[in-house]
Amino acid sequence: MGLPPKKLNAHLTLREKERILTLKDEGHGPSAIWHKTKIPRSIISSFLNRYAKTDNSTLIRKPGSGAKKKLLARAERALVHITVNDPRMTLKALSTPSKSGKQLNHYTVAKILKRHNKAKRRSCKKPYLTIRHKKLRRVHSRFELKIKRNPRKVIWSDKVTFKIGEDLINFWITRGPGRDEEYAKKNLKPSFKSGRVTVGAWGCFCGDELGALYILPPGENMNAKWYKQVL
């Protein structure tokens, strides 16, 4: 019957270290300690030699320096800069030498971006808004704040549409956390109303009172004609 395979890079537990030192203080050598603890003699000898040289006051293993970084700080900043300018670029494309100067694994690229608070996330889908649309919305919001309208005394109505033939394909972008980056223009997937059929529904409420819910025929939207029929 052969011996069990030797463990590579085996680390002693705190209890095993204390047991070895106790037996050494009692006058036992590495061979005797091996017979009593069943710990390989080479590991015992290595630990005793290392302990005698360092003269540690604690037996707790200190963390190592870790693996050497793949990129220098300048190359990491260049990689992050490219990612910020083109958030839709895939990790495979970012791993090429033209981006950081070295050929990297895409998992390594993800770890580097994570250190800089960047990660792959799904793009947020929002209607396409021009600068004019945004200005009009801002004017309307400021007007509502100025008049201090009581929202519980207003009849609120809204419509919702179920889209058939909508483009549901999504893509991943690289960005940091927070709503500022989530809703940045370059990180959004604009949605358009062409190439699909909509089935609409309309409802209203005021305070705690609910109004009726209307389902419109396929392809019809809530316009002036349907408002007259509903009201």
String of DSSP letters for the chain: -PPPPPPTT----HHHHHHHHHHHHTT--HHHHHHHH---HHHHHHHHHHHHHH--S--SPPP---SPPSS-HHHHHHHHHHHHH-TT--HHHHTSHHHHSS---HHHHHHHHHHTT-EEEEPEEEE---HHHHHHHHHHHHHHHHHT--GGGS-EEEEEEEEES------EEEE-SSHHHHT-GGGEEEE-STT-EEEEEEEEEETTEEEEEEEPPTT----HHHHHHH-
pLDDT at 9: 45
Domain assignment present for residue 66? The answer is no
Domain assignment present for residue 68? The answer is no
Domain assignment present for residue 173? The answer is yes
132 and 101 co-located in one domain: no
Whole domain around residue 141: which residue ranges? 124-230
pLDDT at 95: 93
214 and 165 co-located in one domain: yes
225 and 130 co-located in one domain: yes
128 and 226 co-located in one domain: yes
pLDDT at 221: 76
134 and 198 co-located in one domain: yes
pTM of the predicted model over 0.95: no
Domain assignment present for residue 137? The answer is yes
209 and 179 co-located in one domain: yes
pLDDT at 138: 94
What is the per-residue pLDDT across 212-226, written as a single tens digit (0 to 9) for each? 888 888 777 778 888
200 and 140 co-located in one domain: yes
180 and 199 co-located in one domain: yes
Domain total of the chain = 3
Domain assignment present for residue 203? The answer is yes
pLDDT at 183: 82
128 and 224 co-located in one domain: yes
Domain assignment present for residue 2? The answer is no
Q: Which residues of the chain have pLDDT under 50?
A: 1-2, 8-9
Domain assignment present for residue 4? The answer is no
pLDDT at 213: 87
93 and 46 co-located in one domain: no
Domain assignment present for residue 67? The answer is no
108 and 196 co-located in one domain: no
pLDDT at 194: 62
112 and 128 co-located in one domain: no
CB crowding 61-71: b at 16 or more within 10 Å, else e: eeeeeeeeebb
